[in-house]
Amino acid sequence: MNPVLLDNNTHRDLRIVTTRGAAWGDDLMATPIFVSEFRDVQAHYPIVFQREEGGAMQPMALLGLRKGENLFLEPQGWAAHYVPLAMERGPFMIGRAGDQLMIHVDIDSPRIGRGEGEPVFLPHGATTEYLERVNSVLSSIHQGVEAMPAFVAALAQHQLLESFVLDVEADDGSQNRLAGFHTINEERLAKLDPQAIGELHAQGWLTPIYMTIASTSHFRDLIERYNQRLARAA
């Protein structure tokens, strides 16, 4: 990764490939997500939690059952109506220039177009609609990062996260084990007293908790996608 400050002079001809595919780094088993997008994410993907190197829990949209496998990548593109923010942002990220938050771009990203892709700036230097969208995505991510510690702390306070293992037997008889993730402990949630439930609701965390639980129905969808991919490869 080689992030540099984006400016309309140095990068006036910059174009970004927005096509979805493994060649552009989309072959990920899971991607980070943020509370503000749980409603959109839970419509398509299982929401799980993964412990980061520093020990903090990060919610993730599960895209596959094996490392380096994204079951939503199809020849025609991304096979869902919603692409998580962390992937939609492409090669862009928020960096600091002094005390000011500024857009940076990873100039080593495979999405940097060579005469193809979406232009970032107009000929006279103004931002394109594409860059305006990127700016909105980055703003949402920044707000999500700031809100995440409080959400995770609330889950920890009530001991609502538990690890799980999912053993999958594919249609061809092969075995696959999904491990290393956490989900909401529904039994513990059901036993919370009214005061605790009220506090979670007042803090805005009860809805994303229930969305996480609802999203687990998509494990069946992932397994079906997995079997379909195996069948096509046979």
Q: What is the pLDDT of residue 234?
A: 67
Taking 70 as the pLDDT cut, the residues of the chain under it are 234
**CA 9, CA 227: separation in Å to the nearest integer?**
49
Sorted by sequence, the CB contacts under 8 Å of residue 75 that are 6+ apart come out as: none
If we measure between CA atoms, which residue out of 133, 58, 41, 36 comes closest to residue 90?
133
Instruction: State the residue for tokens 């492409």.
Output: 90
* pLDDT single digits (tens) 132-160: 999 999 999 999 999 999 999 999 999 99
Bridge partners of 77?
A: 74
Domain boundary assignment for the chain: 3-228
Give percent above pLDDT 90 in the chain.
77
pTM of the model: 0.92
Q: Which amino acid is at 90?
A: G
In the sheet where 3-5 sits, what is the strand order?
3-5, 100-106, 92-97
- Which string of b and e fits 30-62 if b means at least 16 CB within 10 Å? bbbbbbebbebbbebbbbbbeeeeeeebbbbbb
In the numeric block, which tokens belong to residue 229?
Answer: 């991919």
In the numeric block, which tokens belong to residue 9?
Answer: 């002079």
**CA 158, CA 181: separation in Å to the nearest integer?**
18
Q: What is the pLDDT of residue 125?
A: 86
* Three-state SS sequence of 39-67: HHHCCCCCEEEEECCCCCEEEEEECCCCC
